Structure 1
């Protein structure tokens, strides 16, 4: 009798786990972005996250347009081995995004810089314009 109860309990636990996975699992979006809240007087901001190629073939990011900022640029930070000074350089569009490639945006590497903030409110969105004519609009999450 005890063995049947354990097998039954294990079966119920398995069904619960399957249901949780199927109904609660969110598909991963190809572009996930976040930023720290910038002070109201700040005219620039940095955005981090990841950009995954959603198309299954090589594509280029031709431009990124913001609803809050005038300019969005790709930048890359690196540490100079001789001077141990961190340097940031602008990467020019188009940005190649190969098949199955993910670009990690982080503080010590590639990231997005947003310049010239306008007087707007609401969610910050970025529209990625790709070389295949498609575009994707992403809401940037604020993390404290």
Structure 2
């Protein structure tokens, strides 16, 4: 092989390596697709007239290859919506707002259910009546926003069995 052929081969290999590296970088920079987040079994508890809050529950599946995070939620049916956690603390059940949202691992599932993580609809604008639906928009760090419809179930309802 002469020097000219060696340089040509070196340039081709360098070009191929750069092109391959660039293709990986471009792929990694692509935003997560909205369909990477799957929302299932969304429901909320019915409320009596004048109730100050209502609980919302949903199963969130992240089918993407990278983690995502539920950051916030809004609803036309409530003044505000917060992400909450219930946990035992010295034998007492406590509830707290999660300002940083909730992480969802790659190909992972996050269950918002009674007694655990859930959405808190604060200041419902009307009673949540069994059989009706309410809507909310969930905002994710990578997948953007997703609208979800919550089926309103009877007061005291438990999470559905899988």
Aligned to 1:42: 51
Task: Tell me how many residue pairs correspond in the alignment.
Answer: 114
Answer yes or no: is 1:31 the counterpart of 2:63: no
- For the structure 1 residues 129 and 54, does the alpha-carbon distance in structure 2 shift closer, same or farther, using more than 3 Å as the test? farther
Aligned partners of 1:69 and 1:118 also within 8 Å: yes
Aligned to 1:115: 122
TM-score, length-normalised on structure 2?
A: 0.61
Aligned to 1:142: 152
TM-score, length-normalised on structure 1?
A: 0.68
| Structure 2: gaps spanning 5 or more residues | 1-36, 155-162
* SS class of match (1:136): strand
CA RMSD of aligned residues (A): 2.3
Answer yes or no: is 1:76 the counterpart of 2:75: no
Aligned partners of 1:68 and 1:120 also within 8 Å: no
Aligned to 1:61: 70
* SS class of match (1:79): strand
| Shift in Å, 1:113 | 0.7
Residues 65-88 of structure 1: CA deviation (Å, up to 9, x unaligned)? 1111121111111112x3x21111
C-alpha separation between the residues in 2 aligned to 1:78 and 1:54? 27
Select 1:103's aligned residue among 88, 110, 118.
110
C-alpha separation between the residues in 2 aligned to 1:49 and 1:101? 14
C-alpha separation between the residues in 2 aligned to 1:92 and 1:117? 20
Answer yes or no: is 1:130 the counterpart of 2:140: yes
* SS class of match (1:124): strand
Runs of 4+ in 1 over 6 A off after TM superposition: none
